[in-house]
Structure formats: structure tokens, C-alpha cells
Amino acid sequence: MKCVSCSLTTNVKKQNYLCQHCGEICCYNCGLKTFNLCPTCKEPRSKKVPKDNLLKLLEKNPYHPNRSWIYYSAADDKSLDNKTLFKLYQKASTIPGAMDYIGYAYYKGFPETGGVDYVKARYWLTMAAENNISNSFFELAKIYDNGLGVPKDPFRASTLLFAGGTLGNKKCRQEFENRARTLKGFKLK
């Protein structure tokens, strides 16, 4: 993502960099952070983004360049039901966090997905893992470990657990350590 004011590439992980008026992204690293104004529309910026304002913005301009981030931001609302949440994440499917949610929904077989689909789950979780979303590594490891939609591959599952553990996922680290303890007395010839 490039900041609209300073053109620096920013690693925007949270959606609270969206302007509530125009939907543009600003990194707050440029001089405009002291003025707290949006560089595009010059309206006062706020850290909290009202979800309704952003969705109304998309109704006016459905081809907004930051529409994925806007949908992802709207999906952050805790009061939404799973059906609405899944639709918003599908619209934001270019965002790694949304990929992880979609993959998890297919893995668990949420009613919105039409039931369990391990092929789609593996696809979306792999996409999220390629973007270093640590939660997706654990679910992918379970898919490979149990042979769900793929041949059983405990080595690949262990590799995924190790990678997720290095990214800070506690479940991955714990499961990898449990596997390492069981293999402690095992020696390769």
C-alpha cells in the first residue's frame, strides 16, 4: 500500500488508517500527522472509523481503489452475524486477514460456505500463510496431518507448525514442541 500523501510504501495491517470521509489510506508518518487531516479531502481524521460511513462511501463509488480495505474494516464490527461477516470478507478477499477467515470458514464448514470444503479451505489458508498470517499455519497443519482433501503428510504438517511457531502462534509452537518430545529418542540411521 502506498500512502496518498508521502507515497511511501507502508505495511498497513490495521484498517484504522482509512479516512472516514473519502476512504483513502494515510500512513501517519508524513507531516500531515501533526495536522490530523486527510491529505485527499482535508477533513479531520479520526482513529475510529465509523463502519456505516465507509459502506455508504462504497454505495456512491463501488470502484473505490481501497474497497477491499473498506470491506475488511466493516467486517471488524462484533455485532455482525456470520452470514454478513462472510460476505464482507469475501469482498475483501485480497486482504490476508480475510483470506484466513474464509479458509477457516471452509475448514469448519460454516453454513454460509455450504458445508465443509477442504480443497477451498486449503487454498485460502495457503494464501493467508503466504502472507504470514500465523493462525492459518495451524489449520493447514491439521489438514496435512489428517489427510483432509490431500494425502497425509506429517512432515509438511510439522514444517507448517514450525513456521507458524516462529511467527508467534502459540498453538503452533506448542504442537511442534509436543511432536519434538515424542521423537526425542528416535535416531536416524
Lowest mean pLDDT among 18-27, 65-74, 104-113, 126-135: 18-27
Q: 3-12, 65-74, 162-171: which has the highest mean pLDDT?
A: 162-171
CA-closest candidate to residue 134, choices 175, 158, 165: 165
Alpha helices per DSSP H over 26-153: 32-35, 51-60, 67-74, 82-91, 96-108, 118-130, 134-146
44/35 Cα distance (integer angstroms): 8
Asked if residue 64 lies in contact with residue 55, where contact means CB atoms within 8 angstroms, the answer is: no
3-state secondary structure of 183: coil
17/69 Cα distance (integer angstroms): 10
63/58 Cα distance (integer angstroms): 8
**Which residue did the predictor score with more confidence, 111 or 128?**
128
100/105 Cα distance (integer angstroms): 9
Q: Look at the pTM and tell me if it is higher than 0.85.
A: no
Read off the pLDDT band of 171 (50, 70, 90).
Answer: very high
Residues of the chain above pLDDT 70, percent: 61
32/42 Cα distance (integer angstroms): 10
Q: What is the pLDDT of residues 114-145, one digit of tens each?
A: 889 999 999 999 999 999 888 899 999 999 99
